[in-house]
Every structure is written in structure tokens, then in C-alpha cells.
Amino acid sequence: MPYLAAEDRYQKMNYNYVGDSGLKLPAISLGLWHNFGGVDSLENARKMLQKAFDLGITHFDLANNYGPPAGSAEETMGILLEKDFKPYRDQLIISSKAGYYMWPGPYGNWGSRKYLISSIDQSLSRMGLDYVDIFYHHRPDPDTPLKETIGALKQIQKQGKALYVGISNYNAQQTKKAVEIAENMGIDLLLNQYNYSIFDRWSEKENLLAKLKEMSLGSIIYSPLAQGLLTDKYLDGIPADSRAAKESGFLKKDSITAEKLKKVEKLNQIAADRNQSLSQMALAWVLEQGATSVLVGTSKVEQIIENVGSLNNIRFNNEELAAIEAIMAK
């Protein structure tokens, strides 16, 4: 049976303008960092993408090195675009990035024009696309002149290989420099993608979210659940099938301390009082701070349904916000 998307999908999602552009992103976006690679089940990936779109998630976020193996998440996306989503291409936002290690030698990493142009061509080939909707430089390059990196993004956009271009993992100062160079080149950077959560507050020290708004950029947040720590998964210890137990991703077993688990328990009680799961509250909290969209990573359909359920209650009263801050301050 051919896939037919749910007719009421756009009634189930909130959509936010990105910066001062005309583009809207869903409040919840789906990241294909884990569980969509060549080592994973294609049928499970298919079910997750279908359910995501049925719930109004129009944005699928990738990078050249997502897998494993590197590149295979984009290959999965290409297969499912051809199989299920080809009729809906113009209703989708598909993004990719380059900036981390992808292939051996001096041209397969960081932010040179050589690497970025080669990467977008490879990504388009893997996905069977003429263009991506958003293409990011994945991380700042300490050695390549920023002018060259931004110039490569301009070339990619001018050639029609990406409709919009952005940056990822840039701090406030790096973002300001990138925006200034882009403006001098006559292009607009759309948004910055970086990590932020109730537990991970590095960006607050430099007021990054507010500064992005001042620069007319949007914000899309990855790891809003702190690699799964802000879920009910770890309330009773570390499950054998969790990322922490497998030492995969950035959540390591020894980083889940008794102190953190006590905070998780207290946060979970606040969530329960809001009639939410902890993960739903954690996503709502990031949106409450003013983020354009939050990126979620999932391994099963039920998690997508739960994540979208966070939109049923995305407002916090002052007491709830103060209680969360009090827990994190201890």
C-alpha cells in the first residue's frame, strides 16, 4: 500500500517563523542523528518518519556524517523519499550539514570551500535530491578563514543546492562575526543550531538566544532532553538498552550521578503536576525560552507521539519556572 499522509496533520503542530524570514519550522523537528543509519532497521525508520509527518513534523534534520556508517542516514532518507515522501517533497523541510570528519585526508573535515562544496554534492546524491532546504556549516573551524566558509555557503545557495543556509554550534561571538561577513557578501544566515536543555545552560552565559533574535536569526535546539537524561528512562537506574549503558552518543554512564538523578526525580514531579511526562516538560521548557524549534531523536514511534504531546501544554507559570531553577541551583 502506498503511504498516504494523515489529512489532519497540520492541525496537530505549531509552526514558528524562523528569524525574520518567511520560512516556518514545526515546533518539534525530527533529527536523524541516531537510529536511521545503515546498521538500523529501515522499516522502523520508515514507521518513525511516517508517524512524524502524520503529526505535522515537516522538518527532517540530517548531516553528512550521520549513520553509522557515516552517510547512511542520508541514504535512508533517500530511500524513504523515493518510496513514501516523493509526492510530499514540497511540504518538507530537509536539512543537512557538513563540518565534522567525513572522509580521510585534508579535504574531508572542517570548513574549507573544498570540503563544503564536495559535501553538499555528496549529500544531494545520497538523498536523490536537487536541493536541500537548509544547509549548515556544522561547527566553527579554528583555522579556515570564516570568510571562505561563509563564501562557500553563499556559493551553495546561489547554485540552488540549498534554499537557506545556516550555522551550527557557533557561540554568540562567532555568530556575530559570521552574520557580519554574510551581510557584507549579500546573503542571510537563517539560523543557528546548538545544544540547550534544562541541564545544559552554556548558551545562557552569553545570552545566545536573545542575541540570535537581535540578529534576526532563528534557533533550533538539539539535545533538549540531555541525551535522554530528561526522560523517565533513568528514574530507576540505568537501563541496559539505554545510550548511557551502551556508552553511545555523549551521555556516559559515569556522568549520571546520584545528584543528577535526584534532580531528575524532582523535575519529574513538577512535570507530573503539569500532567506531562518529564520529556514533554523538558521540550516545552526549551520552547518557553523562545526557541524556534526543538530537535528530537527517537528510536520508536511511541516516542514521537509523546514528544508531540508536549505541545498540549507549552506555557509555564512563574512558580513552575522558579521551582525548576531552584532544583538546578542546588
CB count within 10 Å of CB 315 equals: 9
pLDDT higher than threshold 80 for residue 247: no
The 10s digit of each residue's pLDDT in 190-209 is 999 999 999 999 999 999 99
Q: Would the pLDDT of 241 be above 80?
A: no
- Say yes or no to pLDDT of 2 above 60: yes
Residue 217 and residue 192 in contact, taking contact as beta carbons nearer than 8 Å = yes
For residue 151, how many C-alpha atoms fall within 13 Å in the half-sphere facing its CB? 8
Joined together, the cell numbers standing for residue 70 give: 557515516
Cα distance between residue 17 and residue 271, in whole Å? 28
DSSP class of residue 310 equals: G
Dist CA 324 CA 326 (whole Å): 5
| 259-301 pLDDT, tens digit each | 999 999 999 999 999 999 999 999 999 999 999 999 999 999 9
Delimit the domains of the chain by residue range.
9-329
Q: How many CB atoms lie within 10 A of CB 216?
A: 15
Mean pLDDT across the chain: 95
- How far is 93 from 23, CA to CA, in rounded Å? 10
Query: What confidence score (pLDDT) does residue 160 get?
Result: 98
Per-residue confidence (pLDDT) for residue 250, from 0 to 100: 58
- CATH (residue range 9-329): 3.20.20.100
Q: Give the pLDDT mean for 100-123.
A: 98
In 3D space, the residue among 196, 54, 191 whose CA is nearest the CA of residue 133 turns out to be 191
3-state SS, residue 130: coil
- pLDDT range class, residue 256, cuts 50, 70, 90: confident
Of 127, 251, 277, 147, give the one whose Cα is nearest residue 199: 251
Q: How confident is the model at residue 236 (pLDDT cuts 50, 70, 90)?
A: confident
The band of 246, judged by pLDDT with boundaries at 50, 70 and 90, is low
| Per-residue three-class SS string for 268-318 | HHHHHHCCCCHHHHHHHHHHHCCCCEEEECCCCHHHHHHHHHHHHCCCCCH
Percent of all residues in the chain with a pLDDT value above 90, rounded to a whole number = 91
What would the pLDDT profile of 62-101 be if each residue is shown by its tens digit?
A: 999 999 999 999 999 999 999 999 999 999 999 999 999 9
CA distance 43 to 76: 10
Residue whose grid cell is 557557533: 170
Return d(Cα 59, Cα 119) in angstroms, integer: 20
Q: Is the pLDDT of residue 237 over 70?
A: no
Instruction: Tell me what pLDDT residue 330 has.
Output: 82
CB 174 within 8 A of CB 215: no
With cut-offs at 50, 70 and 90, classify the pLDDT of residue 5. Answer: very high
The rounded distance, in Å, linking the Cα atoms of 235 and 313 is: 22
The secondary structure of residue 83, as a DSSP letter, is I
Q: What is the pLDDT at residue 253? A: 63
Q: Are strands 132-137 and 93-98 parallel, antiparallel or unpaired?
A: parallel
